[in-house]
Structures are given as structure tokens and as C-alpha cells.
């Protein structure tokens, strides 16, 4: 991965973390060892916040993607990568992505939500909706 790509990725991760914080009050930080070790998801809870906040997100493996143009094919590939990384570390996969001039979208498996665990698909939602589910402890 080139330096420009890593820089763009870091900007996207900070941007998503800022939007997530605006909706939830929960701080996320970049996982700086993501490129060196297995389980390279992008964001983890900031440790200097209340335990209740950390408990709501510690089990999530959040991967961020930011591209000029988002296609169904790209999302499918990103989701596959996100799932593989989350499985390696025993966490719930979460994919946050956005294209130019588009709002962030967040994908989670239906199996991550107690009321829809019998379904096999995924849900795509806004950061606001994702934040609401996280705050309510609905993503497991």
C-alpha cells in the first residue's frame, strides 16, 4: 500500500470517527498497528473514556473505505475483507464507506442484530442509525 493511499485512508478513518462521535459521544481512534498484524481493522475505542462507552464498541471491528466512486462490486469485496478480518479477532464486522459527494454508509450483518439474527443478509444504514443501534447496545 502506497503512502498516498495510507494517508487517504487515515483521513477517512478520522472523518468517520468524527461523525460517529457526533452521533454517539463515543470516541474511536485509529488502530495504528492495523497494517502490521492480522485483524487489521481500522478503528477501536479510545481508552480514555467511560467504561460504558468502551463496552458499546469494543466488540466491533470497524473497517473504513473512502473511494471516489463506490460500486456494488467494491462494496462486496470490502465486505468480504471486513468479515475475514473480524473473524480472525472474534469481533463483529462493520464496514463504513463513502464515495465523493456521498454520505457515509455503514454495513452490518443481520446476524449482528438480535431481532434479525435469523436473516442471512446485511443492513446498510446511515451513521446516525448505526450510532443509535450502538448506543442502545443493539449490535452484538
Supply the range of the domain harboring residue 72: 3-135
Asked if pLDDT for residue 19 goes beyond 50, the answer is: yes
CATH number for the domain that contains residue 125: 3.40.1350
Rounded to 5 degrees, what are φ and ψ at 101? 60, 25
For 66, other C-beta atoms within 10 Å of its C-beta total 19
Q: Is residue 76 part of a domain?
A: yes
Quick one: pLDDT at residue 55?
92
Dihedral of alpha carbons 131, 23, 46, 17, sign? positive
Q: Is 91's pLDDT higher than 70?
A: yes
Would 140 be classed as within a structural domain? Answer: no
Which percentage of the chain shows pLDDT scores above 90?
74
Q: How far apart are CA 20 and CA 115, in angstroms?
A: 23
pLDDT at 41 over 50: yes
Domain count, the chain: 1
The stretch 76-95 carries a mean pLDDT of 95
Q: What is the mean pLDDT of residues 112-133?
A: 93
Band (pLDDT 50/70/90 cuts) for residue 132 is very high
The x, y and z cell numbers of residue 86, run together, are 473480524
Q: Is residue 55 part of a domain?
A: yes
Q: How many CA atoms lie within 13 A of 40 on its CB side?
A: 9
Residue 38 pLDDT: 47
In this prediction the pTM is 0.89
> What strands, in cross-sheet order, belong to the sheet with 122-125?
28-30, 43-45, 60-67, 92-99, 105-109, 122-125
Q: Is residue 62 part of a domain?
A: yes
Amino acid at each position: 500500500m502506497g503512502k498516498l493511499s495510507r494517508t487517504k485512508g487515515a483521513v477517512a478513518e478520522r472523518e468517520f470517527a468524527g461523525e460517529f462521535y457526533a452521533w454517539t459521544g463515543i470516541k474511536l481512534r485509529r488502530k495504528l498497528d492495523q497494517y502490521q498484524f492480522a485483524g487489521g481493522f481500522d478503528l477501536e475505542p479510545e481508552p480514555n473514556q467511560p467504561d460504558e462507552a468502551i463496552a458499546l464498541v469494543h466488540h466491533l471491528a470497524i473497517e473504513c473505505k473512502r473511494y471516489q466512486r463506490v460500486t456494488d462490486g467494491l462494496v462486496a469485496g470490502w465486505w468480504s475483507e471486513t468479515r475475514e478480518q473480524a473473524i480472525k479477532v472474534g469481533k463483529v464486522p462493520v464496514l463504513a464507506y463513502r464515495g465523493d459527494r456521498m454520505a457515509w454508509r455503514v454495513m452490518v450483518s443481520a446476524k449482528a442484530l438480535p431481532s434479525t439474527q435469523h436473516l442471512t443478509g446485511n443492513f446498510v444504514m446511515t451513521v446516525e442509525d448505526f450510532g443509535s443501534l450502538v448506543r442502545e447496545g443493539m449490535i452484538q
